[in-house]
Amino acid sequence: MHIVKEYTTFKDKELPTFEDIYGMKDLKALIKASVLLPFQKPEIYEDLKIEPGCKILFFGAPGCGKTFTSLATAGEMKARVVQFTPSDTWGSSRTEPEKAVSNLFSYARQTFPSVILMDEAESLLINRDKYKDAPWAQRVLLEVLNQLDDSTSENETLILMASTNAPWLIDPAALRHGRFDRIIFIPPPDRSAREQLIKAQFERAEFGDSELERILDETVSLSVADLVGGYKRALTNQLQAQIANGEEPDSAKVAVSADSYMEAIKTYPSSASDWLKNTTQRIDEVAEEFVSKVSEYLKNPT
């Protein structure tokens, strides 16, 4: 039996909102106009003769906040989140996985406002040409497409936020106009977002103004995960140095300088930078919708 996962809290507090997303002014405006406005001020969309309902596909590099952005959007709407992952579907039964999909969409429609959060969308919307030996996965794809195509009034309350960092694995039929209302690129954090993140969360950082500016200059196109991971490595490097010097580890003596932070950042390659480069080289595999947005970002990353 398929069990729907739902939650209205996130890490022991209320769902995040846009206040919890640092910077990213243009992204927030885009989501407010295409996702929030139809439900907050439906009369505007009625006047413009735009049908309600919302089906969004977020895509971008790993660690850039696609899931967090979905949660924050739900938080802005004060909606419950119904989580939909590949393990939920495959774990229910490979003989009737499409029933799990149908049950979830039905549940979400009946409990408005609910946001269906579909992580790893490429695993649920698999490219049929690439996975011909997975008939159960193809049935899931067809059922999801059927739910997205539902032309009845039931989809007027449907809010679906899917996310992927592998859009080249998604079946092209899922990307045609009408199935997803918007395909939104979640880029690495912009300069303002990086600055706010560092000031808010790097409590042990000792960066002067000029050092902070240097860090912001040298961390363009890094993901949130890259930035936070570098800070944590810089902290543990300090503890390692204490141990190597024969000292008793003492957190009170741990501080992160600009140089130690940048050294820690460079210890691991950025998955976001590699993803951006590789995606623009997948022209034959990725819909132009994806490549063009990534290419546009790379013309002027901030």
Express each pLDDT in 187-207 by its tens digit: 999 999 999 999 999 999 999
Please tell me whether residue 57 adopts helix, strand or coil conformation.
strand
Exposure string for 101-122, b = 16+ CB within 10 A, e = fewer:
bbebbeebbeeeebbbbbbbbb
- Return the top range by mean pLDDT from 85-99, 168-182, 200-214: 200-214
Q: Which residues contact 291 (CB under 8 A, 6 or more apart)?
A: 279, 280, 282, 283
Q: What percent of the chain has pLDDT over 70?
A: 89
Residue 288 has pLDDT above 80, yes or no: no
Query: Whose structure tokens read 């539902």?
Result: 150
Read off the pLDDT of residues 134-156 as tens digits, 9 standing for 90 and up. 777 888 899 899 888 865 556 77
Name the CATH code of domain 191-272 (choices 1.10.150.120, 1.10.8.60, 1.10.1060.10, 3.40.980.10): 1.10.8.60
Model-level pTM? 0.87
- Which neighbouring-strand residues pair with 84? 118
Mean pLDDT score, 46-75 = 89
Mean pLDDT score, 59-73 = 94
* Beta strand 205-206 pairing with 256-257: parallel
CATH number assigned to the domain covering 5-185: 3.40.50.300
* Fold match flag (5-185 vs 191-272): no
Nearest 5°: the CA angle 148, 78, 45 is 55
Give the integer Cα–Cα distance in Å for 214 and 206. 13
Give the integer Cα–Cα distance in Å for 54 and 62. 24
Mean pLDDT score, 288-299 = 86
Please tell me whether residue 18 adopts helix, strand or coil conformation.
helix
Q: What does the block give as tokens for 16?
A: 């995040």
* Beta strand 114-118 pairing with 9-10: unpaired
Read off the pLDDT of residues 42-52 as tens digits, 9 standing for 90 and up. 899 889 887 76
For the chain, what is the mean pLDDT? 85
Give the integer Cα–Cα distance in Å for 10 and 59. 22
Give the integer Cα–Cα distance in Å for 37 and 181. 14
Domain boundaries along the sequence of the chain: 5-185, 191-272
Amino acid 211: pLDDT: 97
Residue 97 has pLDDT above 90, yes or no: no
Give the integer Cα–Cα distance in Å for 258 and 273. 21
